[in-house]
A = this chain, B = another copy of it.
Amino acid sequence: MRDVAAAAGVSVSTVANVLNNPGVVAVATRERVEAAMNRVGFVRSAAARQLRGLPSRLVGSITLDQGNPFYAELNRGIEDHLDEAGCMLLACSTDQRADRELRALQLLEEHSPRGVIITPTGANGQRLAAVSARGTPVVLLDARQDGADLCAAAVDHVLGGRLAGDHLLALGHRRVAFLTAGDDIAPVRERRAGLAAALEGAGAGPPVEVRAVEAGFSGGTDAAVSKLLAWAPSAVVCVNDIAALAVIRAVQARGLRVPGDLSVVGYDDLPFAAHVRPALTTVARPIRALGRVAAELLLAEGGGGHRHREAMFAPRLVVRATTAPIG
């Protein structure tokens, strides 16, 4: 900036005015300064502005895995809204490990971000509250504010589980399994609870729970499917579409048919769900909108007189071709 000032034959504060207060500087001067900026290749230093206490343009995003299509889409939604405010996403993955989450939080804080949007593992609630108390807006994503008083953009997963359960009940299913992924995070517990409530409310037995070791497209699923089939359910609700697809494949590999021999319900309605054959019946949630709203809540928290809010989204059942009447 000094260089620009020198090149334009003015003082640094005039350059500053051109930048922050263009109206106050004479047109001729301004043009001279702007020309100088181009000549010198001037780039403002965000570090220096931050040091002066100006609001940062960085927003942290901590998800379980930014490589997962679901979280990728979420980040995209966040980015879309942030873009309008000139902010950028600092994206980290935790792989659902509390230590990685803590580290990410630490590194993020050092950059004094405008705020942090997080899909929490659930293990660092206190730390999150501390970050928030220190003045960095924290928005919970896909999680309720349990205890801590924070903003949240959440999905009613109890309803999601119930939707899946009601759908299967209506088709005559009574033996229903729930396939989870070795995790015990709140959104998964809630889905299971909703499913159980639906089944038990109708006098059916509770869902049996089957754990796949890995949540991914491959690995761990095959053993889980053996366990699953040993219980001989007529339907299975999966923790997400990826798991559902893996289950379908494993079931088909055993010579069984979906939905003829086993109905399968996914969760998320990822873009591929509609294009798979048989097309996946699944519980949809507005992923990108979730991200956008989280970003909105984050930016709104900057304003004074703030009260933490929770934006709750209702999931929606999308019936396609992997569920069928029993018999």
Contact = CB atoms under 8 A, between A and B. Distances in A.
A67 B76 contact: yes
A180 interface: no
Interface in A93-132: 93, 104, 106-112, 130
Contact of A72 (B43, B67, B277): B67
Nearest to A89: B91
A112 B217 contact: no
A92 interface: yes
Contacts of A262: none
A90 interface: yes
A112 B45 CA distance: 7
Q: How many copies does the complex hold?
A: 2
A50 interface: yes
Give chain A's interface residue range (CB within 8 Å of chain B): 35 or more
Nearest to A133: B41
A134 interface: yes
B79 A91 contact: yes
Nearest to A252: B277
Interface stretch (A228-236, A267-275, A304-312): A267-275
A72 B218 CA distance: 18
Interface of A: 41, 43-48, 50-51, 57-58, 65-69, 71-73, 75-77, 79, 86, 88-93, 104, 106-112, 130, 134, 216-218, 242, 245-246, 248-249, 252, 271-272, 274-278, 288
Given A47-B47, A76-B93, A276-B277, 13 more contacts: A41-B130, A44-B110, A46-B110, A47-B50, A48-B51, A66-B91, A88-B90, A88-B107, A90-B90, A90-B91, A217-B271, A217-B275, A272-B276
26 contacts: A43-B110, A44-B110, A46-B110, A47-B48, A47-B112, A57-B107, A66-B66, A66-B76, A66-B79, A66-B91, A67-B73, A67-B77, A67-B288, A69-B72, A71-B72, A72-B72, A79-B93, A89-B91, A89-B92, A217-B271, A217-B272, A249-B274, A249-B275, A272-B276, A275-B276, A277-B277
